[in-house]
Amino acid sequence: MKKTDVLIIGAGAAGLMAAYKLVKVGKTVTVLEARNHTGGRIHTLNNQLFFQHAEQGAEFVHGNLPVTLNLLKEAGIPYHSANAAMWRYHNGQFEENMQFIEEWDELLARLEELQHDIPINEFMEQAFPGDKYARLRSNIWDFVSGYDTADPRDASTFALRNEWKNEDMEAQHRIAGGYCTMIKYLADTCKAAGNAIVLNAIVNKIQLLPNGIKVFTTDEVAYEADKVIVAVPLGVLKAAGGEQGAIVFDPPIPDYSKAMQQLGFGAIIKVLLEFDEAFWESETVTAMVGTSLKNMGYLFSKEAIPTWWTQIPQRSTLLTGWLGGPAAFDKKDASAEDILKLALTSLANIFKIDADTLKDKLIAWYVANWTADPLTRGSYSYDTIHSSEARKIMNSPVENKLFFAGEYLYDGAAIGTVEAALSSGSGVAGCVL
């Protein structure tokens, strides 16, 4: 049993950022990671013949986010714009528009009038009732479910108001080589200083002792440290004792356990489809649409897999499908083959191309069902009306030796992002010192 200054559970962005900051000031760390690779919900697929720098999980830098971009600059990792045209397929028609919610300004004005926080679905039903606003209510449900992967019946209106007021859709970026280049930089820095990152180490028990903490893994290895940072996904913390990946605290920490349950954690299924050609740029599709889709970056629809994007402005034959929120949760137990069928049917309905024809054009496909993954159990966090108070509890250490880190503990407009994870990891490292 090896003792270290700080033991970190989870080698995702938050855990590795905490380790990186601690190593920089001379602390020894050991990082335990349940998976067979670092990165957590960041995992870049990279094959010479297909899926070049395709992202299973986190893909975009949503805005000019200082922690992320400064880290990339420090590591010498380039990034490029992901800005591209937005299209919608609705009622059999394609339309290009940056703003698909026609009553957006009216919505923001009504949001500003709200004095007490309520779930966004409740707000929409109260503020925009009747048939006149049926499409607006539907669009907001889709937006909150898709972009925030949240349940609109549970998501905080105040938090969404803050997010929407600060969103910069003109500043979207992708990292050259994928997000794993950043993860590798953090991990390599830690290992170069003599610190260990232990893979396939699934923690199932954390024991608080009078003079430190013991951490036990499912393969019955014990680790000891003066201080421990728990940087696993919120979905894992929410898991009931006895479920795969769940962590038991001994003795129990009831206030923290209650706070974990009060924080929102979304659902997501991401589909990667690489075709033998960019069929959406074909002359047949161009004739059907009435204009070329060569500039299409994002495509929104009402199909079973509603959201799609290309790699524009980079040229690629990869299409990424995205299903979030309650609809993703409802399909979490579906097989990868069933999800693929839904994806191809959705594209067939949009582009009027037979699903079997599209299947024959595939050269690679992958379904990332993060909600069914026992080591993740969802996508990323969203605020409920209880999140503010719950976050205060989770951001306070237990007996000044057990700390929590993760994107769900970030309090700002970039909630649910890698920026949020990096910020939390950096912040908790400062608290540990």
- pLDDT score recorded for residue 282: 95
- pLDDT score recorded for residue 34: 97
Contact (Cβ atoms closer than 8 angstroms) between residue 361 and residue 279? yes
- pLDDT score recorded for residue 2: 66
Domain 60-84+171-177+267-368 in CATH 3.90.660.10: yes
Provide mean pLDDT across the span 330-341.
98
pLDDT tens figures, 250-304? 999 999 999 999 999 999 999 999 999 999 999 999 999 999 999 999 999 999 9
- pLDDT score recorded for residue 1: 54
Percent of the chain whose pLDDT exceeds 90? 89
Q: Which pLDDT band, with edges at 50, 70 and 90, does 405 fall under?
A: very high
Q: What angle do CA 431, 399, 430 make, to 5 degrees?
A: 5
pLDDT tens figures, 263-273? 999 999 999 99
Contact (Cβ atoms closer than 8 angstroms) between residue 379 and residue 268? yes
Tell which wins on pLDDT, 96 or 71. Answer: 71
- The full set of domain ranges for the chain reads 3-44+179-263+384-432, 60-84+171-177+267-368, 99-166
- pLDDT score recorded for residue 100: 65
In sequence order, which residues have a C-beta less than 8 Å from that of residue 95 and are 6 or more positions away? 87, 88
pLDDT tens figures, 352-389? 999 999 999 999 999 999 999 999 999 999 999 999 99
Neighbours of 28 (CB within 10 A): 17
Q: Which pLDDT band, with edges at 50, 70 and 90, does 53 fall under?
A: confident
Q: Which pLDDT band, with edges at 50, 70 and 90, does 236 fall under?
A: very high
Q: Which pLDDT band, with edges at 50, 70 and 90, does 98 fall under?
A: low
In sequence order, which residues have a C-beta less than 8 Å from that of residue 232 and are 6 or more positions away? 9, 10, 12, 34, 203, 247, 406
Q: pLDDT averaged over the chain?
A: 95
Model confidence, pTM: 0.95
175 closest CA partner among 66, 71, 70, 61 = 61
d(CA 144, CA 299): 16
Q: How buried is 40 (Cβ within 10 angstroms: 0-12 exposed, 13-18 middle, 19+ buried)?
A: buried
Domain 3-44+179-263+384-432 in CATH 3.50.50.60: yes
In this predicted structure, which of 85-89, 202-206, 266-270, 413-417 has the lowest mean pLDDT? 413-417
pLDDT tens figures, 190-202? 999 999 999 999 9
414 closest CA partner among 66, 121, 126, 99 = 66
Q: Which pLDDT band, with edges at 50, 70 and 90, does 167 fall under?
A: confident
- pLDDT score recorded for residue 413: 82
Q: Which pLDDT band, with edges at 50, 70 and 90, does 103 fall under?
A: confident
